[in-house]
Amino acid sequence: MKKIKVLLDFIKYSVAEKIPFYRNVIARIKANSLTFVTPDKDLASVEGLVNNLDAKLIETENGGHTATVALHTAEGITDDAFRILAAYVNRIADGDENIILSSGFNTTPQPTSINKRELTVEDGEISGTVKLIAKAVNGASSYIWQYAKDILPTDETGWITSGYSTRASTEIDGLTVGAKYYFRMPAITTSGVTGFTSAISLIIR
């Protein structure tokens, strides 16, 4: 199995999507300071870069070439800072998916284990909604859909059950735009409840 690493998907986000994502990464690394003791980039200075990026985005609302150039410059500098933080998280995590997820970054996809149920998440048609699609489980009578906001739970109390379905797919609405959510699912069969899928995450748009 390939070593799990930070997914650099955030580079492709729009600036409006990067700002809440970057703020969440900073907050999560700060909250897990016992794990992320000495980041390779000073978090206060990185937070300043995000604040500057936010300000440059606002300045472009009135249009103008100069404001647009300034935004792109700020975006490039901020992206580079988070690439450095991503490399730092990779070094500390050494392939541990939970440590990477605790930093606020997403993880690289891995081949689905035979004993794991494949689960995918994508944006819903309406802002604040997501679609969850799982690989159908043989003999399943229903599926349980759960989510958690901002932080990957370390125990069962952190998970919220959004509902049940007889099909291997569902839609969850009422989610906070810009927030990061984690999702998982077990199936109910004649033999009982299966194991949970590995948690997957998505920034809500």
Bridge partners, 107 (sequence order):
6
pLDDT tens digits along 68-97: 999 999 999 999 999 999 999 999 999 999
pLDDT at 113: 43
pLDDT at 115: 44
d(CA 82, CA 193) in angstroms, rounded, equals 40
Q: Identify the CA nearest to 102 among candidates 10, 28, 200.
A: 28
pLDDT tens digits along 56-68: 999 999 888 999 9
d(CA 167, CA 88) in angstroms, rounded, equals 41
pLDDT at 79: 97
With a cut of 50, list the residues of the chain below it in pLDDT.
111-117
The conformation of residue 186, written as its DSSP 8-state character, comes to -
Q: Identify the CA nearest to 132 among candidates 144, 142, 141, 119.
A: 119
Task: Provide CB contacts within 8 A for 36, sequence distance 6+.
Answer: 29, 88, 89, 92, 103
Task: Provide CB contacts within 8 A for 109, sequence distance 6+.
Answer: 7
Model pTM score: 0.57
H runs (alpha helix) in the chain:
15-31, 43-59, 65-93, 97-102
